[in-house]
A = this chain, B = another copy of it.
Amino acid sequence: RINGQRLWDSLMELAQIGATAKGGVKRLALTDLDKQGRDLVVRWGREAGMSITVDQIGNVFMRREGLNNALPPVMTGSHIDTQPTGGKFDGNYGVLAGLEVVRTLNDLNIRTEAPIEVAFWTNEEGSRFVPVMMGSGVFCGAFTLETAYAARDTEGKSVGEELERIGYKGDQVPGDHPIGAYFETHIEQGPVLEDADKVIGVVPAVMGLSWYDCVVKGMEAHAGPTPMGLRKDALQVATRIMQQVVAIADRYPPYGRGTVGMVQVFPNSRNVIPGEVKFSIDLRNVNDELLNTMHEEMLAYIEQTRKDSGLEISIERVSYYPPCPFHADCVDAVRKATARLGYSTMDVVSGAGHDAIYTARLAPSGMIFVPCKDGISHNEIEDAKAEHLEAGCNVLLHAMLERARI
């Protein structure tokens, strides 16, 4: 069993770097604070006897040798960058749980057959630089190093420059690094475990995701003198589509998701009928066929609305990640470890993307969820219980040991 107090203390110490007044953390990717966080975790890794490798996109691998170092490592990890108004646990927990596994193996003098590695991936959050999950995405070849280097923040600073500046542009070619199996512990970022009062979420898969930008064009006109029948009110038409996004998701329980998160109205003046409304659509499902059905239903509704309203409506898909089922071996390892340890458990499909969906393209991968308070993350009030974090870390220890063999 791991040392829950030590895990908690490390989480709290790391959370001081970029701590916010409201109890959260602001440690954006490749900032000075990210460098401080990276340096601290690397120091802890070295103190635990691990060797460090950094690749060209700044992914860091901390390695504990095995008895048979020809075997590919059993890896765990996550990210330590945060949202602008982020919490202490998102990502950080996955990295420090890995560190705690190694510290525990050291304490107990356990040698594994395969090496063990703890990784942290660059810019998972995507808040400062798009796309999200950048480090693991480059690692698995989803996009090129050049694309990633060229990404710029709102001040015009590029990933390439910033990596160099903070000293984390390593030598290793991304992906040129074998993985035997990959596990990632993470807070759930949703309310399902808490709602069902379970401690461990076994994650069979991550939902697929489609992101769209939709623009409705009407005609701006004065709110007073323009009779109702002569209006081309872009907002009224847009709100119908916004409601349909949720209606479509509701037709595909339990894993259909539909969200409109971002809305811009032009000219956005109290007494002007909106001439243009731009908004985002986020559709998810764990089943790619159903996700595609949802996509088709949305396009059909928009086509119908275009006809009914006579307004110009454009819709563009801006991102697509297919659903990612995790490898049966890894899912089973997590399930068995949970049973052995006697924790209450249920399967929880991940609604959010994680670095593990990219490692899954290269090696058997799996995830372990623990509850977070009210299901809230990407928020300074994000919170989790020490006992749940400890339980998740114990499951990680046992799952990794099963794969790495003692």
For residue A243, which residues in chain B have a CB less than 8 angstroms away from its CB?
236, 239-240
Interface residue total, chain A, C-beta cutoff 8 A:
62
Contact of A242 among B235, B246, B273 (CB under 8 A): B235
Q: Is the CB of A257 within 8 A of B224?
A: yes
What's the least CB distance linking A73 to chain B, in Å?
Answer: 29
Query: Which of A229, A240, A254, A272 neighbours the largest number of chain B CB atoms within 10 Å of its CB?
Result: A272
For residue A70, which residues in chain B have a CB less than 8 angstroms away from its CB?
none
Q: Is the CB of A190 within 8 A of B350?
A: no
Q: Is the CB of B253 within 8 A of A228?
A: yes
Q: Is the CB of A224 within 8 A of B351?
A: yes
Identify the stretch in A1-9, A139-147, A262-270, A295-303 within 8 Å (CB) of chain B at 4 or more residues: A262-270
Q: Is the CB of B190 within 8 A of A227?
A: yes
Q: Does A258 contact B (CB under 8 A)?
A: yes
Q: Does A376 contact B (CB under 8 A)?
A: yes
The 0/1 profile, CB within 8 Å of B marked 1, for residues 222-249 of chain A is 1111111110010110011011001001
For residue A156, which residues in chain B have a CB less than 8 angstroms away from its CB?
none
How many copies of this chain does one complex carry?
2
A227 vs B273: C-alpha distance in the bound complex, in angstroms? 34
Q: Is the CB of B259 within 8 A of A223?
A: yes
Q: Is the CB of A189 within 8 A of B224?
A: yes
Q: Is the CB of B189 within 8 A of A225?
A: yes
A274 vs B233: C-alpha distance in the bound complex, in angstroms? 22
- A226 and B271 contact, Cβ closer than 8 Å, known pairs A221-B375, A239-B242: no
Q: Does A192 contact B (CB under 8 A)?
A: yes
What's the least CB distance linking A272 to chain B, in Å?
Answer: 5
Q: Is the CB of B282 within 8 A of A223?
A: yes
Cβ contacts A to B, 23 pairs, < 8 Å: A189-B225, A191-B225, A191-B226, A207-B224, A209-B224, A222-B351, A223-B282, A224-B257, A224-B351, A224-B353, A228-B258, A230-B375, A233-B259, A235-B263, A236-B242, A239-B239, A261-B265, A261-B270, A261-B274, A262-B268, A262-B269, A262-B270, A263-B268
A residues with CB within 8 A of B: 188-192, 195, 207, 209, 211, 219-230, 233, 235-236, 239-240, 242-243, 246, 249-250, 253-254, 256-263, 265, 268-274, 280, 282, 284, 350-353, 374-379
Query: Top 5 closest A-B pairs, CB basis?
Result: A190-B225, A224-B351, A225-B351, A223-B259, A239-B239
A-B contact sample (11 more), CB < 8 A, given A226-B375, A228-B258: A190-B221, A190-B227, A192-B225, A222-B351, A224-B282, A224-B350, A224-B353, A227-B254, A227-B257, A233-B246, A259-B273
